Homo-oligomer: A and B are copies of this chain.
Amino acid sequence: MDKDIKKPVVRNKEKSKQRLLAAVGKILKAKGFAALKVNDIAAVAGLDKKLIYNYFGGTDGLIDEYIRSLDFWSNVSEDDGPGDLSDGGQAFTRNMIQGQYDYVAQNKELQKVLLWGITEQRKSLKKIADEREANGEVLMANITDPFFEEQSEEFRAAMAILISGAYYLNMYTTNAKTFCGIDLTQPKGRDQIKNALGMLVDLVYERKRKG
């Protein structure tokens, strides 16, 4: 026999777990981590909250598993695989930073997680930060450190500032418009930031070349 026509209710543990995890992402994107309450998560998933306790041991377990499922950085090192590095990674670095600025802008989930990470102490969030560190470490150790030599720590500090700035300006835009008189909600303003990011990278590279 084939399938019964009625029964839209599928009973499947894995599916249900996925629905709960998806509900966490949905709420996070829409309302932020402060809105992640058991009752609401269950309601959004269309399931009973008891399942959150059965399958994840509680909201914390569910949230941790959700965070563990995220993978924001894996693409960074592979996506734009370093092409021509004869410039010491200058073009690569410039593209990477400008790309991050756009990527964060477009990825609400990442914005919330970044914000979450500086707001709350949580092992699984720490792990995400560590992963990003490890990811960046590979790039810097292999590409930029060799170029900057004794200035490599100065370069890293500059990168820390630029990346942080890109993060903050994107988060800032959620509730406000202008920063230093630049309208971050407009394409023009955003382009100005991107150009400035590129300019600052270039200046640091030029500085090294000119000694």
Residues of A in contact with B (beta carbons under 8 Å apart): 32, 34, 115, 117-121, 125-126, 129, 133, 136-137, 140, 153-154, 156-169, 171-172, 174-176, 178-182, 192-193, 195-197, 199-200, 203-204, 207
Contact = CB atoms under 8 A, between A and B. Distances in A.
B196 A182 contact: no
Given A115-B119, A159-B180, A160-B169, A153 B192 contact: yes
Q: Which of A119, A204, A207 has the most CB of B within 10 A?
A: A119
Number of copies: 2
Contacts of A119: 32, 34, 115, 119, 175
Contacts of A193: 157, 160-161
B169 A164 contact: yes
B169 A161 contact: yes
A117 to B, nearest CB: 7
A156 B178 CA distance: 11
Given A161-B197, A203-B203, A136 B167 contact: no
B121 A154 contact: no
A195 B118 contact: no
Contacts of A163: 165, 179-180
Given A119-B115, A207-B203, A179 B154 contact: no
B181 A118 contact: no
A59 to B, nearest CB: 15
B140 A175 contact: no
Contacts of A137: 181
Nearest to A125: B175
A76 to B, nearest CB: 13
B179 A160 contact: yes
Given A119-B115, A119-B119, A196-B157, A133 B164 contact: no
A144 to B, nearest CB: 10
B196 A158 contact: yes
A18 to B, nearest CB: 28
Nearest to A193: B157
